[in-house]
Amino acid sequence: MPKGKSDKLVFKPYEQKQPWLVPPSADELIAMDHLVRVVNSTIDEMNLEPLLLKYTKGGGASRFHPLMLFKVVVYGYMTGVYSSRKLARAVRENILFMWLAGNQKPDFRTINSFRSSRLKGIMDEVFMATVKLLAAKGYVKLENYFVDGTKIESASGRYTFVWKRAVMTNEKKLDDKLKAYIRQAERVSEEENKEYGDRDLEEVGEGIVFSAEDVKALAETLNEKIRALGEDGEAKNDKKKLKREVRTIERELQPRKEKYEEYRAVAGDRKSFSKTDHDATFMRMKEDHMRNGQLKPGYNVQIGTENGFVLGYDIYSNPTDTKTLTPHLEKVEALWGKVPERVIADAGYGSHENYEMLAEKKIEAYVKYGMFDKDRKYRKSASRKYRSDTWEYVKEKDCYICPEGEELKYFGSATNKTEAGYEQTLRMYKCTFCEACSQRMLCAKGRRERQVQRNEKLLELQRMARERLMSEQGVRLRKRRAHENETVFGQIKSNKGFRRFQLRGMEKVKIEWGLLAIGYNLEKLGKKMVKG
C-alpha cells in the first residue's frame, strides 16, 4: 500500500439536525448566474403599470403584490409548472419559487384568480412590455418577421363535440314535425294562426327554419283552442288530443329548438365546437398517437418571431392558417405602431388575399404558394410542360400556346369566391384542336378539349413571390424559417410538455399563451446574457 494511503472506508458527516449558527437566506442558496435571477431583474425593468391599474379598490385585508404573483406565474410557465395547485406548492417547497415570492405563500385560489382575472384584458400590453425591453436592448427590430402556427388542445373533453352539420340536419327534422303541428293548428282554428301572416301553410316549413318564438306561438295557439273547447262528446276528445300535443311542443320541441338555435349561434361559420369550451374547434393535431386521424378540440396558435424571440402571437378558433395572417398582422401593427419590413411564411399562408394584403401594406412577402416546392422539385419533369402555368402567353392574340403549338383562345370570364370569401376573376381559355392530338391523354386527361382558368393577378403575385424566394436573401430567410418558429414550438410543446391548455375560453387561453411567450423570451434572454 502506498505511503500515506489508507483502505479505511470514510463517509462525510451526515447530520440532519445540525443547527445553523446564522440561518442562511434564500438569496444565498441561489447561484448568482441562475436563470431565476434574470427573470426577477427583467420583470423589475418592465413597465407593468397596466397590471397595477387592475387593482382599483382599496380597503380590507392587504393583498399579495401583483409583481410577485406575476413573477411566480411567469417562472412557472417557463419551467413547466402550469397548474395553480402546483404553483402554490412550489412557493411552499421550491427554494427558487420561495425566493421569487419573498417567502410569501399565496394559495392556489389566489394564483388562479390572478392568472385568469387580473391578467384578463391586459395580456397584450404586458407581453409588449417584454418585447419593448428586448427592442431597447437591441435584440429585435421588427425587420424579418417569421410567421407560423400550431394546434394546441383545449382543456375541454375530447368527446364534447357539436357538429354544425348534424345540428342543421336534426333541426330540419324538427322543423318538419313543427310543420305538421302548424297544419293541425290550422285545422283546429284558422283565425288563431294569424301570427304566420299571409303565407300559405303549404309553404310554411319548405326551406324555412323556425325560431323558438315560432314554437312558443304555436303552443299558445293550441292552448287558446283548448280553453275554447267544451267538455262534452267530440270536443272532449279533441281537447285531450290537443293537450298531448301542447305537452310535446312545450317539453320536447321548444327546448330542442332553443338548443339548436344556441348551437348555431355558437358555431357561427365554424363546422364544430366543444360543449364545454365554446371557443374551441375540433381540429387535427400533429400528436396523433393512435394514427386514426381523430379530431380534438383545440386552438390555432399563431406566432411571429425574430432572432428567436417571440414578437407577436394570437389565438384563433379557425384551424386554417390562411385566414389568420391578416388579423395577426393588424394586431402586430396596432401594438408596434408599424408593420414588419419582411414577412416570411410557409405555403399555408400563400393565398391571393394574403399576397394582396402584404403588397398593400408594402411588406416584402417571402411567402411560399402551394406549388412552390413541387415546381422546384419537378421543374425539369416531362409531365410538367403540360401544366398551363408554364405555357407561353401571346398578348396580341390573348391566347396561350400549348406544348404542341396549338392556341388556347379566350372565351369568357368567371368569378370565383374563395373559402375566406375573397372574390377572384378568372379568365377562361380553351383549345379546339385536341381530338387529333397525340398527347391528348397526357394534356387534356381524356377530355375532348383542354380548358384552362387563369387568375392573372394571382399569377403575377406568385411570380413576384417566387423571385424573392429564389433570391440570395430569400434562400437565406427560407433556411432560417425552418428553425425560427419550430424552435419555439419545440421548446414549449416538447421540452416544457405544454400540449394542452389549462384554462377554457378564448380570453383565458390567450393569457396562458402570453405567459408561455413571455417565459420563453425571458429564458432566451437569460441564456444570451449568461453567454455574454
Q: How confident is the model at residue 468 (pLDDT cuts 50, 70, 90)?
A: very high
450 by Cβ neighbours in 10 Å (0-12 / 13-18 / 19+) ranks as buried
Give the mean pLDDT of 493-508. 92
Exposed/middle/buried for residue 238 (C-beta within 10 Å: 0-12, 13-18, 19+): middle
Distance CA(349)–CA(327), nearest Å, equals: 13
Average pLDDT over residues 334-348: 92
Distance in angstroms (rounded) separating the CA atoms of residues 193 and 432:
61
| Highest mean pLDDT: which range of 10-19, 73-82, 208-217, 412-421 | 73-82
- Separation between Cα atoms, residue 463 and residue 457, nearest integer Å: 10
Report how far Cα 172 is from the mean position of its chain's Cα atoms.
30
Q: Among the listed ranges 89-98, 207-216, 310-319, 401-410, which one has the minimum average pLDDT value?
A: 207-216
Q: Average pLDDT in the 151-162 region?
A: 89
Instruction: Quick: pLDDT tens for 8-29.
Output: 888 888 888 877 777 778 888 8
More confident residue, 347 or 432: 347
Q: Which amino acid is at 203?
A: E
Q: Assign residue 398 a region (left: φ > 0; alpha: ψ between -120 and 50; beta: otherwise).
A: left
3-state secondary structure of 269: coil
Q: Considering only residues 423 and 471, tell me which one the structure prediction assigns the higher pLDDT.
A: 471
CA 368, distance to chain mean position in Å, is 21
Written as one letter, the residue type at 114 is F
Which phi and psi angles does 67 have, rounded to 5°? -65, -40
Mean pLDDT along residues 234-252 = 75
Residues of the chain with pLDDT > 70, as a percent, come to 86
Average pLDDT over residues 464-492: 91
Average pLDDT over residues 456-476: 89
Q: What is the rounded distance in angstroms from the CA atom of residue 522 to the CA atom of residue 524?
A: 5
Mean pLDDT is highest, among 6-10, 51-55, 150-154, for 150-154
Mean pLDDT of the residues in the chain: 84
Tally of CB atoms within 10 A around 36: 19
d(CA 244, CA 193): 19
pLDDT at site 380 = 53
Query: pLDDT digits over 165-215, tens only?
Result: 888 888 888 888 777 777 665 555 444 444 444 444 334 444 456 777 777
Q: Which amino acid is at 113?
A: S
Could you tell me the pTM of the whole model? 0.83
DSSP single-letter state for residue 267: H
Contacts of 372 (CB under 8 A, 6+ apart): 347, 350, 465, 466, 469
- Per-residue pLDDT at 343: 95
Q: Residue 409 has what DSSP assignment? A: E
pLDDT at 420: 65
Q: How far is CA 527 from the centre of its chain?
A: 30
Task: Return the pLDDT at 193.
Answer: 42
Nearest to 54 by CA among 41, 43, 46, 65: 65
Average pLDDT on 229-257 reads: 74
97 in Cβ contact with 87 (< 8 Å): yes
Of residues 522 and 379, more confidence is placed in 522
Answer whether residue 231 shows pLDDT above 80.
Answer: no
CB 274 within 8 A of CB 161: yes
CA–CA dist 355, 349 (Å, integer): 9
| C-beta separation of 109 from 499 below 8 A | no
Going by pLDDT thresholds of 50, 70 and 90, the confidence category of residue 376 is low
Nearest 5°: phi and psi at 422? -90, 130
Q: Closest Cα to residue 459, out of 376, 391, 379, 531?
A: 391
Instruction: Output the pLDDT for position 11.
Output: 82
The pLDDT assigned to 203 comes to: 40
Check residue 299 and give its pLDDT: 95
Whole-angstrom distance, CA of residue 157 vs CA of residue 166: 19
Q: What is the largest CA-CA distance in the chain?
A: 125
Q: Is the pLDDT reported for residue 412 higher than 70?
A: yes
Contact 111, 86 (CB under 8 A): no
Mean pLDDT throughout 523-530? Answer: 86
In angstroms, rounded to a whole number, what is the distance separating the alpha carbons of residues 146 and 483? 10
Lowest mean pLDDT among 336-340, 445-449, 474-478: 445-449
How far is the C-alpha of 257 from the C-alpha of 263, rounded, in Å? 10
| Cell digits of residue 138 | 437591441
Instruction: Report the alpha-carbon distance of residue 409 to residue 168 in Å, rounded.
Output: 44
Q: What is the 3-state secondary structure (H, E, C) of 120-173?
A: CCCHHHHHHHHHHHHHHCCCCCCCEEEEEEEEEECCCCCCCEEEHHHHHHHHHH
Quick check: 359 and 342 in contact, CB under 8 A?
no
pLDDT of residue 229: 66
In this prediction, what percent of the chain has a pLDDT beyond 90? 38
Check residue 344 and report its DSSP letter.
E
- Mean pLDDT value across residues 355-371: 91
Name the amino acid, one letter, at 119. Answer: L
Helices vs strands, H then E, count in the chain: 18, 13
Among 101-110, 143-152, 366-375, 418-427, the minimum mean pLDDT is found in: 418-427
Give the pLDDT of residue 201: 36
Torsion of Cα atoms, 45 then 47 then 50 then 55, to 10°: 40
- pLDDT of res. 260: 86
Question: What integer pLDDT is reported at residue 55 of this predicted model?
Answer: 84
* Model pLDDT, residue 382: 56
Q: Which string of DSSP letters, residue by residue, matches 292-337?
A: S--EEEEEEEEEEEETTEEEEEEEES---GGGGHHHHHHHHHHHHS
CA distances from 158 to 163, 164, 165, 201, 427 (A): 13, 17, 18, 43, 45
Q: In the prediction, which pLDDT does 452 show? A: 87
Which of the two residues, 351 and 225, has the higher pLDDT score? 351
